[in-house]
Amino acid sequence: MDHGLAKDIIAAVDAGFDAQVQMTVNVTALPSLRGQEATAQDFMADQYRRRGLAVDRWKINVEDIQDLPGFSPVAVSYDNAFNVVGAHRPKETKGRSLILNGHIDVVPTGPLDLWTKPPFAPHVENGWLYGRGSGDMKGGLIAALAAFDAVDRLGYRPAAEVYLQSVIEEECTGNGALACLQRGYRADAAIIPEPADNGYDAAQLGVMWFQVKVRGRPTHVGHAGRGVNAIESCFPIVAALHKLEDKWNASRHALWADHPHPINFVVSKIEGGDWTSSVPAWCTFDMRISFYPGQSLESVRNAVEAVVREAARNDAFLANNPPEVVYHGFQAEPYIVENAEHVHAVLAKSHEASFGEPLVGRHITATTDARFFGLYAGIPALVYGPLAEDYHGFDERVHLDSLRKVTRTIALFIADWCGLEKRAA
Ligand code: ZN
C-alpha cells in the first residue's frame, strides 16, 4: 500500500475516534444478555443501513442449523434470536472479500453491588471504557464499523465484498456464527475483533458444556442417615472430574506447553434440593470443560461419562441410580489457524503500521466463533483485537488507546486486502 494512503487511513481513524467511542458507549448501554439481544441488534442494523449497506436481519431457526457440523444443542427458545449482517458490495470486485464478525451477546453481570458503577451505564475513566460487553466484544464490534467509516471518510469504499456481521450466541453455543454460514455468507478471510491483547489468536481449545443430574433419597433431616443427599453426592463426582482435568493438564498439547494451566474444568452452576429440613432428592451441576486439538467431541464425552460412571460406582445408591450427563450449550471443537499465511501477512503488516511493533500470536484457553469459518467453511479466520480486562468479571473494561490502534489496523487491513474504489459522492 502507498505510504501516503496508509498515513491518511491512520489519521482518518484517529479523527473519527471520539465518535467511535460514543457509538461504543451507546451500544454497551444496551443490555444484550442472552435472549435480550434484539434491541442492540436493531441498533447495529440501523448503523449498517445509515452507511448504505444491504442489511440482512433474520431470526435464527434451530431446524435450519441443527444438522450442520459445529451446531450446539440449546434448551432455550430462539423466538427473539436475531442475527444482523450489513453487506457492502463494490461496483466492481477487484480485491479479496472479507467478513468482519463480532458478537453482540454479553454474559450476565453477577451481583450488581460488586460493580464500582452499574454495568450498563458505560463510562470512560483513565483511558478505559467500562461496562459489561465493552471489551467482550462491543469495542471490537464497533471497531470493525469504525474502520469501514475511516476508509469511507477518505472517499473510498472496499473494492471487494465486506460483510459486517453482528451475531448472537457466541458466549454459549456459537449458533449465531453458524447461522451466518448456513445463510450462505462466505469470504476470502474473516477477522474477529475479540479482546486479544493487541495480538491474534493462533489456536484455541475445544470447549464443552454439560450438566450432571444426580438423584438422592429424600427423608426428614431428623434421621438423615436413612436418606441419600443428592447435593453431597455431587462432591466426589466433581472431585473425580477435576482428576481428569489434572491428567489433561499433565499431558500437554505442544502448543500449550508453556501455559501454566491450559485445561480448566469449572463447576459454574449448581442447583438442588427443595427444603432445608429435607434431605435433598436431586441436584444438577453445570460444568464447562476444555480440551486439546486432536481430541474429538466424542472422545471427550466418553471420557467425562466414564469418570462420572466410575465415581457413581463407589456409592451404593448412585451405583443403582446412575447420574445422567446431559449436553447443551458449547460442543465446540478446537481450532488451529491454518492456511492463513496470506491473511496473516497482511494483518501483520497492518498491525505494524499502526502499533509500530510486530504482531504477536497467542494460544488461547477458550473458544471463539473463528472455529466456524476455519473448520466448516474453509475461510481462514483470525481473532485480532484490543486489550480488555475483567470480561466475564466485574468492572469489565477495554483500553481506549489499544482500541484506537486496533481500529487503525483493521482499516489498513481492509484497504490492503480488499483494495479500494472511489466512493460515489
Ligand atoms: Zn467474546
CATH number for 114: 3.40.630.10
Does 217 lie in the same domain as 180? no
Check residue 152 and give its pLDDT: 97
Nearest Cα neighbor of 191 from 373, 421, 60 is 373
Check residue 2 and give its pLDDT: 85
Does 17 lie in the same domain as 92? yes
Does 181 lie in the same domain as 55? yes
The SS3 call for residue 100 is: strand
> What pTM did the predictor assign?
0.96
Does 231 lie in the same domain as 152? no
Does 318 lie in the same domain as 346? no
Compute, in angstroms, the gap from residue 363 CA to the centroid of ligand 1: 15
Compute, in angstroms, the gap from residue 167 CA to the centroid of ligand 1: 11
Compute, in angstroms, the gap from residue 136 CA to the centroid of ligand 1: 4
Compute, in angstroms, the gap from residue 274 CA to the centroid of ligand 1: 35
**Contacts of range 284-287, beta carbons closer than 8 Å, 24 or more positions apart:** 284/211, 284/212, 284/213, 284/214, 285/211, 285/212, 285/214, 285/234, 285/238, 286/209, 286/210, 286/211, 287/209, 287/210, 287/211, 287/212, 287/238, 287/241
Compute, in angstroms, the gap from residue 21 CA to the centroid of ligand 1: 18
The CATH number of whichever domain residue 224 belongs to comes to 3.30.70.360
Q: What does the block give as the cell for 238? A: 466433581
Q: What does the block give as the cell for 135? A: 471489551
Check residue 1 and give its pLDDT: 80
Does 385 lie in the same domain as 254? no
Mean pLDDT by 10-residue block, N- to C-terminus, for the chain (425 residues)?
Answer: 93 98 98 97 98 98 97 94 98 96 98 97 98 98 98 97 98 98 98 98 98 96 93 98 98 96 98 97 98 98 98 95 97 97 98 98 97 98 98 97 98 98 86
Does 341 lie in the same domain as 288? no
Burial of 187 (0-12, 13-18, 19+ CB in 10 A): buried
Residue ending a domain, choose from 332, 363, 396: 332
* Other beta carbons within 10 Å of 145: 25
Residue ending a domain, choose from 332, 354, 369: 332
Residue ending a domain, choose from 299, 332, 365: 332
Q: Which contiguous run of DSSP H or E holds residue 164?
A: strand 162-167
Strands (E), 216-375: 266-272, 282-291, 324-326, 331-332, 335-336, 361-364
Compute, in angstroms, the gap from residue 171 CA to the centroid of ligand 1: 7
- Bridge pairing between strands 156-158 and 420-422: antiparallel
The CA-to-CA distance between both ends of the chain, in Å, stands at 23
Does 162 lie in the same domain as 220? no
Does 118 lie in the same domain as 262? no
Compute, in angstroms, the gap from residue 106 CA to the centroid of ligand 1: 8
Q: What does the block give as the cell for 382? A: 483470525
Question: Does the bond joining 137 to the residue before it have cis omega, within 30 degrees of 0?
Answer: yes
Query: How far apart are alpha carbons 345 and 306 in whole angstroms?
Result: 44
374, amino acid identity:
G
How many domains are contained in the chain?
2
Which residues contact residue 309 at a Cβ distance below 8 angstroms, ignoring those fewer than 6 apart? 322
Does 18 lie in the same domain as 147? yes
Compute, in angstroms, the gap from residue 170 CA to the centroid of ligand 1: 7
Compute, in angstroms, the gap from residue 165 CA to the centroid of ligand 1: 14
Compute, in angstroms, the gap from residue 348 CA to the centroid of ligand 1: 22
Query: How far apart are alpha carbons 13 and 286 in whole angstroms?
Result: 43
Burial of 230 (0-12, 13-18, 19+ CB in 10 A): buried
Does 241 lie in the same domain as 171? no
Does 155 lie in the same domain as 35? yes
- Bridge pairing between strands 361-364 and 199-204: parallel
Query: How far apart are alpha carbons 205 and 364 in whole angstroms?
Result: 7
Compute, in angstroms, the gap from residue 38 CA to the centroid of ligand 1: 18
The range of the structural domain enclosing residue 241 comes to 206-332
